[in-house]
Amino acid sequence: MNFIKSVKFDSSYPYAPKLKLPQFAFCGRSNVGKSSLINAILNRNIAHISKTPGKTTLINTFIINEMFYLVDLPGYGYAKRSKSMLKSWQYMINNYLKYSDNLIMVYVLIDSRHKAMKSDMDFIEWLVYYHKPFNIVFTKSDKSSQKIINENIENLIKQSNIPYFLTSAKKKKGIDKICRSMRINLENILA
Ligand SMILES: Nc1nc2c(ncn2[C@@H]2O[C@H](COP(=O)(O)OP(=O)(O)OP(=O)(O)O)[C@@H](O)[C@H]2O)c(=O)[nH]1
Ligand SMILES: [Mg+2]
């Protein structure tokens, strides 16, 4: 089941772009695995990955099947950058999400090894406040025990019914489920 037929790098934007086609956006703390997840979904190394947090500083967009975008956003909460730089990133991310009228889904990535942090919770609250559709994606499941992962999932999801995925970009775990869900979301908006 591969619904990815064509992939084209579109652009690296230093500002919030106004995109015309439907979009899936990938957000989360620096180093959580946004670019790796995008590569796993697209089944190629097209988004830049780094061991150093803060690699993606621009909004990178990829056009899929000449029909929709995957949007790789800079990570939030990276402490080693200056305060003013963090503010301008935050502003760019928030501005993009706030004014994009063709946003199908925001994937909020959380490292499955750790409890969600304050910056994650703040970001989720922001999405709720602005009525943005979002799902949670727990990343790097190959790096931790099932027990810890379950605790971290339970801690965040609790009784809420936010859909979530458990993934490993490295082991290609949970990737099919995300693809299936993306396809259903696309079919719904195009119907
Ligand atoms: N073991 C393991 N490592 C992963 C996985 N996903 C990402 N990584 C590693 O985590 C590091 C960061 O991955 P990126 O995909 O660059 O993370 P990012 O969220 O795009 O980071 P920024 O662009 O800096 O915000 C890299 O060293 C990846 O190889 C995974 O599923 N398993
Ligand atoms: Mg990145």
Q: Which pLDDT tens digit goes with each residue over 29-76?
A: 989 999 999 999 999 999 988 777 666 778 999 999 999 999 999 887
- Domain ranges in the chain? 9-190
Sheet holding 103-111, edge to edge: 7-13, 59-64, 68-72, 23-28, 103-111, 134-139, 164-166
- What does DSSP assign to residue 109? E
Question: Hey, whose CA ends up nearest to atom 5 of ligand 1?
Answer: 140
- CB-defined site of ligand 1, < 6 Å: 28, 30-36, 49-51, 53-56, 75, 139-140, 142-143, 168-170
Residue nearest to atom 32 of ligand 1 (CA): 140
CA of 53, nearest ligand number:
1
Percent of the chain at pLDDT exceeding 70: 93
Ligand nearest to the Cα of 55, by number: 1
What's the rounded mean pLDDT across residues 97-116?
A: 95
What are the CA-CA distances from residue 140 to residues 43, 44, 72, 157 (Å)? 17, 18, 17, 18
Which tokens go with 43? 């089944």
pTM to 2 decimal places: 0.95
Architecture of domain 9-190: 3-Layer(aba) Sandwich (3.40)
Would you give the end-to-end CA distance of the chain in angstroms?
21
Per-residue model confidence (pLDDT) at position 52: 76
Using alpha carbons, select from 68, 48, 60 the residue that is nearest to residue 17: 60
In sequence order, which residues have a C-beta less than 8 Å from that of residue 121 and are 6 or more positions away?
A: none
* CA 29–ligand 2 middle distance (angstroms): 10
Beta bridge partners of 69: 23, 63
Q: Which residue owns the Cα nearest ligand 1 atom 8?
A: 33
